[in-house]
Structure 1
Amino acid sequence: MTRLLIVEDDPDLALALRVLLTRRGYEVSLAADGREGLRLLFAERPALMLLDLLLPALDGWEVLDRTRDMSDLPVLVLSGLGAVDDRVRALRSGADDFLVKPFAHPELLARIEALLRRAGPRQWAGEAVEEDLRLVPERRAALWQGGEIRLSDIEYRLLQLLVRNRGRVVTTEQLLDQVWDDTTAIGRDRVKFAVLRLRRKLRTAGGPSARDPLEAVRGLGYRYESADRPAARSPGAAAHGTGGG
């Protein structure tokens, strides 16, 4: 049975949603605040989350941000914040859909069905990425070749984005946009130095003989290379360089 997680602090609405969705054959878990929502998200790993934005303890924006650190599961935002700026911000922050309160139940059900229909197999960052690497979102850490690395928020998001696109080049512009929320080219050096810090931590954790999975592709960006495939280096690639834009 498909499990849904509802993160909603209005008890009447939460109960009404649970009754509606249970009658449609879903299993439903409820969380009344953001912290409980994240706890249930990680413990139960639902197929989809319905998320309010104005939550106690931890607001929906932070829940959405941390959810995207852990998983690519569908997120449907249900909020009384109906301004265009709020909807755009939610979608750019990783929400898959946005429904303004109050809403009609048939529309809600249709949107849930559409999101579940389009969703592929979910990936969770807490699972092993490959034999050498495991991301640990609840501690903002990574296990690399047997050693644990404590990462800053930026370093964690940077590694996560590169890993999710492993084998493919992620451009400097994409990194600035998705890790730093900076769409300008002003911060290009910050990407280079963040990669250097991340590479240094991986080298410290893995030891001097450990491979370096971070490849700088000159003039383009960076790529994470898995151990099970050879690095597809282009003539302009510099595996240990500081380039990449």
Structure 2
Amino acid sequence: MSPATPSERRTVLLVDDDHNLRLANRRVLERARLDVLEAATGRDALRVLHERRPSCVVLDIGLPDIDGWTVLERIRDVSEIPVLILSGRALEEDKIRGLQQGADDYLCKPHSGGEFVARVHALLRRAPRDSEPPRSIYTDSLLMMDPSAHKVTVAEREVSLTPIEFRLLYALATHAGQVLSPAQLLELAWHDPTAIGPDRVKFALLRLRRKIDADANCTIPIDAVRSLGYRYTSPHLPEHLAGAAT
């Protein structure tokens, strides 16, 4: 295999206050032909994220200034960049918390270099989001979604959604009445053909429901269908699917 050209190389931001571990992980990633940025604190991580726009973040939780949970929350306020939590905390509740707050994957220390690289590559395999074709406005008697304006109203109240939350709701709404599997939703909302991490769908839907409940004082009709997936039930058949947004 020929070396990747500069335009093809992807950049990973390593966030960990352990210098030796950062160095070891850096070497593993560089051997996998990935470029690496480093940050030893949460504030440095947010600065580098803003200035350098990496392709993926590997985030430790136990940072010396602001903890990794806060860093993850601030990342998700402004970006849908893939985030892998790499932590010595192996309790199930920590893994659940990470996924609930928007991490894409969670790997416990100590870890093998091979598994670490495989998980990073899985996150980097997502299709570029700026290649999406124009999509139609969706409306029914409860919900209106305008992809070109990234605007959502539920019960005539505007709701602020992240890009992934928007794509997740749009995928369900435009397939109203159909059950979509976690793998289908990972492809439609995350552009992740590998379908790694189906729990991301469950926790993203929890966040989506809570946000709509808070902003619109309304419950969105999305049901979990056991062993199959999720279904949006339109209050009525869609009133229209307008022409492609401009």
TM-score tier by shorter-chain length is 0.5 to 0.7
CA distance in 2, matches of 1:23, 1:33: 25
TM, length-normalised to structure 2 = 0.56
Question: How big is each residue's C-alpha offset from its partner over 1:174-230, in whole Å with a ceiling of 9 and x where there is no partner?
Answer: 999426858xxxx94x43369xxxxxxxxxxxxxxxxxxxxxxx969xxxxx99749
Distance 1:181 1:2 in 2: 34
8 A Cα contact 2:147 2:245, kept in partner: no
Measure the CA separation in 2 of the matches of 1:167 and 1:122: 15
Same amino acid, percent of matched pairs: 36
- Counterpart amino acid of residue 56 in structure 2: L
Aligned equivalents of 1:175, 1:79: Cα separation in 2: 21
SS of structure 1 residue aligned to 2:37: strand
Q: What is the distance in 1 between the residues matched to 2:25 and 2:235?
A: 50
In the alignment, structure 2 segments of 5+ residues that lack a partner are 1-8, 131-145, 152-157, 175-202, 219-233, 237-241
The TM-score, its normalising length taken from structure 1, stands at 0.56
Q: How many Å separate the matches in 1 of 2:105 and 2:51?
A: 23
Aligned residue for 1:69? 77
Do 1:33 and 1:55's aligned partners in 2 also have CA atoms closer than 8 Å? yes
Deviation, 1:24, is 2.1
Q: Corresponding residue for 2:22?
A: 14
CA separation of 1:122/1:36 partners in 2, compared to 1, >3 Å: closer, same or farther?
farther
Which of residues 123, 128, 131 is equivalent to 1:121? 128
Aligned match of 2:166: 164
AA partner of residue 159 (structure 1): S
Between the aligned partners of 2:147 and 2:209, the Cα distance in structure 1 is 26
Aligned equivalents of 2:243, 2:73: Cα separation in 1:
29
How many matched pairs? 170
Greater than 3 Å deviation, 4+ residue runs: 129-134, 160-170, 174-177, 179-182, 226-230
Distance 1:76 1:175 in 2: 16
Q: Using the alignment, how far apart are the partners of 2:204 and 2:92 within structure 1?
A: 25
Deviation digits for residues 142-195 of structure 1 (CA, Å, limit 9, x no counterpart): xxxxxxxxxxxxxx9x4234883486769xxx999426858xxxx94x43369x
- In the alignment, the residues of structure 2 paired with residue 130 and residue 85 of structure 1 have an alpha-carbon distance, to the nearest angstrom, of 35
Aligned partners of 2:15 and 2:57 also within 8 Å: yes
2:117 matches 1:109: yes
Relative to 1, partners in 2 of residues 1:167 and 1:103: Cα closer, same or farther, differing over 3 Å? closer
Deviation at 1:122, TM superposition (A): 4.6
Q: Deviations over 1:29-84 (max 9, x none)?
A: 00001111111112111111110011122111111112122222211110011000
The 1:102/1:191 distance shift into structure 2, 3 A limit, reads same
Provide the secondary structure at the position in 1 that maps to 2:62.
Answer: coil
1:109 Cα deviation from its structure 2 partner: 1.2
- Of the two structures, which has the highest relative contact order with CA contacts closer than 8 Å and spacing of 6 or more? 2
List runs of 5+ in structure 1 lacking aligned partners. 124-128, 135-155, 195-217, 221-225, 231-245
